[in-house]
Amino acid sequence: MVNFSLEGKVALVTGAAYGIGLAIAQAYAEAGAKIVFNCSRQETVDRGLKAYKELGIDAKGYLCDVTDEEAVKAMVADIEATVGTIDILVN
């Protein structure tokens, strides 16, 4: 049971295709947050999108290597343009 609301918030959880990242993102989604995540390999993004769909979460996945500053800037700009301003960041 969720005791707080993240309604209207956008949460970017890096590497959240599985494991702890997915669990954190799922909890945020249950609290009402919009979930976006990134991974450095397309196969992992696809795996994550499938996992979120199975959980009934409408998440957006991005291919981005967080060690590439320009790629991160581009991803953030894309997220802000299509989903909204990032309110929560989990690395």
User: What are the sequence ranges of the domains in the chain?
Assistant: 10-90
| pLDDT for position 28 | 97
| pLDDT for position 2 | 56
Measure Cα distances from 2 to 29, 33, 55, 75 in Å.
Answer: 10, 12, 16, 29
> Greatest CA span in the chain, whole angstroms?
39
| pLDDT for position 15 | 87
Yes or no: domain 10-90 corresponds to CATH 3.40.50.720: yes
| pLDDT for position 3 | 78
pLDDT digit of tens for each residue in the chain (91 aa)?
A: 557 899 999 999 998 999 999 999 999 999 999 999 999 999 999 999 999 999 999 999 999 999 999 999 999 999 999 999 999 999 9
Q: Compute φ and ψ for 78, nearest 5 degrees.
A: -65, -45
